[in-house]
Structures are given as structure tokens and as C-alpha cells.
Amino acid sequence: MAQPDAAAPAESVADAAVDAPDAPFVPGPHRPWPQLVAPVDVPGRQHVLRPMTLVTLVAANDTLSSQLFAFSDALIKSAWWHATSDEYGVGTPEKSLHVTVPAIDHDLTEQEIAGYIDQARTSSGAPPPNGNTLYLLYVPSPHEATGSSSTAYHDAYPLGAGGLGDGLAVVSRASAELGESELDELTERASHEIIEAATDTRAGWRLPRASATPWADADTNIWRTVQPGVVENGDLCELSRIREPLASGFLYQRSWSNKAALLGGDPCVPVRAEPYFNVSVSKDWVSIAAGQSVQIPFSGWSTARADDWVINAGANHGRGALADLAPGSGLVLETSKGVGTKGKCGARQGMNDGVQGSLTVTAPASAKAGDFAVIWIRSFREEPGTCNPSPAIDWTHFWPVGVYVE
């Protein structure tokens, strides 16, 4: 005769209670998000474009001209705009203007981009700068903007320290993510540059700039170093996206909200319906010796009960021998959940709220003092058939950690 099951140990009973569907959900511990700051007012330097006039410049040989003009018109009236800009004092844009510029048949330097804007003002009906104007230029394929670390960026207009505080932005083509169209890729990148330019055309909302040795700064917050140079609201939510309208509208990148970040959950807006998920690393910067390894602990967290996700890691940027750290080349990820995907998608580690993990970093023997890497631990879900996130959800959420050689 079968014996009844023995009583479960007290610890197992407690675990079962936590996992019960009706038990209150408590997100796993995670460190606070950073806050964008606006510098003290400097006479003659404008922080935000208020009210912004968006002047969209599209080349005569751009096959998506009508859709790109329509996107600008939709953007200034969108719920996305108010969700991303209102707390930074930008306000409702004044208008969206369309300008067709001569065909573009070569790669453009930043000086040539400014020249296209100058020409548009004199011969194509673009308005003059007034301190609140953003000139947005799209570069048609196969050409691109050069002279910057990215083929999409924004700057002051005119170039340099002069002017009234107006801005320019440029967006080149890039490979679209799986499930996204060429137009999706363009509008996602354009929304990133527009919200950054509107809130930080010259000296506006951003994180304090890190030094050349950020691990030695008085404030060693790793978020200041997620990319080279200035870190702005679009940068902190890169790879997070939303459609408006949700079913079939234009694709926008979500943007950083100080208010949302203070609540400790999803720091990007507009709000998405599904739970936010990520990992958190306990320390911003970790020292490492040449030829040696260091183990960095982290843990998963989410804003509500969520299905498992997977993680990977790679150096987003750096200096010297650590700059190219990648899985199989100096980086090993492990979690208490073990492998979360197999077969075609590879053997990525699984993750969920409260799951523990470790990142083992091995420095090349050639590493020298001052070499460093900023590593992004990325959290995402993948469809078995494509090994990429579904187009209906965010692409990736990331958490950075830095390693350096003393």
C-alpha cells in the first residue's frame, strides 16, 4: 500500500506560499536608476526647444519621403511625445514643416549636413533658426552621415558654440531588426534623436559626463559611461520600443523618464503593458589584473510575475585589450537557472525574478593599466524560430557593469 507523502519541510512550504498565484508579488532587489540632470542656466545657452518647430528635410531621391513627412506630423501630436517630453519642460511642438532638398548621392560629413540645411533655408523654403527649431535630415540609402561615432546623431545648429540654441539631427539607414521594416528602423532612430535634441540641444538634460578614467571619478555611477561621450534620455532606453497606435502605427523608441526611474520599475516611457524585466549588478566598477579572471554577481528582477527570459553580454565600448570582450572571448555568463534555450538559438542562460547569476571576466595577458570595458548584460526573450524577440515586445533591456585594469 502506498504511503502518504511526508510533510514538506518548512522552507518548502514557505517557498510554495511565495509562488502561489494569489501571493503579493515583490520584485527582486535591484539598485536605483540614475537621474538626468539639467545644468545651471548659462546666459545665451538654451536647454530645451520650447515650443519646438520640427523641420523635416528629405532628399528628392528618398523613396520613403511621404511616409517620413507623415511620421513627423504624427510625432508632434502623439501620446509618445507628451510621455517622453513633458517632465523636461519641452511642451507641445509648434508645428511640423516639410522640405524636399536636392538628391543626395554621396556620404555626408557633418559640415555638409549643415550645408544642406543652409541651402534649404535659402532655396527650399525652410524657416530660419529662431532658438526653437530642429532641422531633421534623412540620408537615403546607400549613403550615410559620417564624422560621428554613429550614423544617426544630433548637434547644435549652426555647428559650434554660436547660434540661438537650435538643433540639427540626421538619420541614416541601418539594418532593421527582425520583424521591423525599413520605415520602422528609420522612425525608431529618428524618435531617439528628436527627443534627445529637444531636451538637450546644447546643454540640457543628460547625465554628468564621465572622465577618461570613470572608475576613479568621485561619482562612479556606471550609467554615465554606457556609451562614449554624453549620455542622454534616448541612450538609456536604447532597444526599447513601442508602436502608436499599438496595432499598426509608427514605431518609436521609448525614452528615459526621471519620474518613472524614481519609482524603481520600468524607467522608460511610454508605459508598455507587459512586465518589465532586467538584471541588476551589485557594483558598478570592478578591477581586474592582466591575464586574470574576476567573477561579478548579479540577479534578475521584474515588475510583476513574468515568463523566463534569457541573457547575453558583450562590451559595448572600452579601451585597449578589454574593448572587445565577448562571449567565448573573455566573458562567461552563468545563472542558477542554467541554460534557457537550446539548439538553433544556442545555449543562452535562463533568468527570472530573484534568479542569481555571475559574469566571469577574463582579461587578456596583454591588458595594460587604464584599459577598460563597459559590458552590457542584456535581457530579452527569443522566438524559437528566429532566435530574436518578437516584434510585439521590447527588443532588449540592459544593465551595464565596468571592468578596468589598475
Q: What is the pLDDT of residues 227-251, one digit of tens each?
A: 999 999 999 999 999 999 987 899 9
Q: Report which of 66, 77, 203, 54 is spatially closest to residue 135, judged by C-alpha positions.
A: 54
% of the chain beyond a pLDDT of 90? 78
DSSP assignment string, 263-325:
TTS--EESPPSSPPEEEEES-SEEE--TT-EEEEEEEEEESS----EEEEEEEEEEEGGGTT-
Name the β-bridge partners of 242: 252
Domain boundary among 199, 227, 256: 199
17 has pLDDT over 60: no
What phi and psi values does residue 382 have, to the nearest 5 degrees?
Answer: -130, 145
What is the rounded distance in angstroms from the CA atom of residue 94 to the CA atom of residue 88? 16
What is the rounded distance in angstroms from the CA atom of residue 406 to the CA atom of residue 215? 10
351 has pLDDT over 50: yes
Q: Are residues 69 and 176 in the same domain?
A: yes
Report long-range pairs for 210-216 (Cβ below 8 Å, ≥24 apart): 213/370, 213/404, 214/285, 214/372, 214/402, 215/285, 215/287, 215/372, 215/402, 215/404
Average pLDDT over residues 65-73: 98
378 and 315 Cβ atoms separated by less than 8 Å: no
Q: Is residue 265 part of a domain?
A: no
How far does CA 60 lie from the centroid of its chain?
Answer: 31
Q: Quickly tell me which residue has 521590447 as its cell.
A: 394
Cα dist. 100→91, 170, 186 in Å? 27, 15, 17
Contacting residues for 112 by C-beta, under 8 A, at least 6 apart: none
pLDDT band at 148 (very low <50, low <70, confident <90, very high): confident
Name the β-bridge partners of 400: 376
Q: Are residues 57 and 185 in the same domain?
A: yes
Domain boundary among 199, 217, 239: 199
Q: Are residues 192 and 288 in the same domain?
A: no
Alpha carbons within 13 angstroms on the beta-carbon side of residue 306 total 26
Tens-digit pLDDT profile for residues 70-81:
999 999 999 999
pLDDT band at 5 (very low <50, low <70, confident <90, very high): very low
Instruction: Residue count of the chain, please give it.
Output: 406
Q: Is residue 177 part of a domain?
A: yes
Alpha helices in 92-140 (DSSP H): 110-123
Q: Report which of 245, 299, 246 is spatially closest to residue 274, judged by C-alpha positions.
A: 246
Domain boundary among 199, 227, 246: 199
Tens-digit pLDDT profile for residues 254-303:
999 999 999 999 999 999 999 999 999 999 999 999 999 999 999 999 99
7 has pLDDT over 60: no
The pLDDT, as a whole number, for residue 9 is 34
What CATH number is associated with residue 291?
2.60.40.10
179 has pLDDT over 60: yes
Name the β-bridge partners of 251: 243
393 has pLDDT over 90: no
Q: Are residues 191 and 63 in the same domain?
A: yes
Which residue range forms the structural domain that includes residue 106? 53-199
What is the rounded distance in angstroms from the CA atom of residue 135 to the CA atom of residue 380? 34
Q: Is residue 114 part of a domain?
A: yes
Ramachandran sector of residue 90 (left: φ over 0; alpha: ψ -120 to 50; beta: rest): alpha
Quick one: angle between helices 182-199 and 65-75, nearest 10?
A: 40
Q: Are residues 64 and 186 in the same domain?
A: yes
Overall domain count for the chain: 2
Average pLDDT over residues 165-176: 94
Burial 28-50 (b: 16+ CB within 10 A, else e): bebeebbebeeeeeeeebbbbbb
Alpha helices in 47-200 (DSSP H): 65-75, 79-85, 110-123, 182-199
